[in-house]
Structure 1
């Protein structure tokens, strides 16, 4: 079972560190992803979960936002600046998750479709469309 709260993640992280067992990570909503495959998406989720612990960012909107800013800063330091497709796609993915999750408590389920709409229509319209899909 994967951790569903920040407290559960901290406990699972400590257990993983102590036992050497893999850190459990969610694979929910991984059928449609922005990465090259569900396996790469799973690896991203692992990196994101570990960053939650290492950066002491809980699952609140504030914690997710601080972590998103850190991820984007790391990407920029690696040479992918704002305006590059890589940066813009990750920014849309991270910030849209925060926006949608803060409104209805659920992450977007169609990640690839959502990110494509961000690219074509802008983040605001993509969020509106995602909320409409979730409501129907």
Structure 2
């Protein structure tokens, strides 16, 4: 199943995926009436996220999103990853999905539906990268209780070799 992906294909796919994510996050911000603010002290519990979301709903203040671990991502730059975190976090609350592995899985599946509704299919590199990033990371965390160390490398390995092999390679890299 190894798949060769040229630098040009990867650059173009990441660019298209990033444009979609920025549009999705901006549409979410327009719907809710507030945006996002990257910070190293963003809420890291569902209870904290709900409280921050409620404050943003009340007065329009930006929702704090984590500014950590945003290099080496499937998007073109950290700013797009912050937009992703905003949309992801907002939909946790809007859909009533906690941070449990079961709910993270449900949210990742919902995100894949949103990507498909935007016209991306399983054959598209954008879909494959986002699937590896969204679904693959949920599975990795459920198995290890750790976050992926390099999200782009992980997504590329999952895309090239399949999610199972991508998970195994990441686990081997992070073995204690």
Q: Scaled by the length of structure 1, what TM-score is found? A: 0.94
Note if 1:94 corresponds to 2:134.
yes
Note if 1:134 corresponds to 2:171.
no
Note if 1:12 corresponds to 2:12.
no
Contact in 1 for aligned 2:109/2:135 (Cα 8 Å): no
Note if 1:67 corresponds to 2:111.
no
Larger strand proportion of the pair:
2
CA-to-partner distance for each residue in 1:33-72, whole Å, 9 max, x for gaps?
1101011111111111111111111111110111111111
**Aligned counterparts of 1:107 and 1:4: Cα–Cα separation in 2:** 13
Residue in 2 that maps onto 1:106: 146
Q: Root-mean-square deviation (CA), in Å?
A: 1.1
Which runs of no fewer than 5 residues in structure 1 stay unpaired?
none
**Aligned counterparts of 2:99 and 2:172: Cα–Cα separation in 1:** 24
**Aligned counterparts of 1:97 and 1:18: Cα–Cα separation in 2:** 32
Structure-to-structure mapping, 1:71-86, within 5 angstroms: 71-86=111-126
Q: Scaled by the length of structure 2, what TM-score is found? A: 0.74
Higher CA-based Rg: 2
Q: How many residues are matched?
A: 136
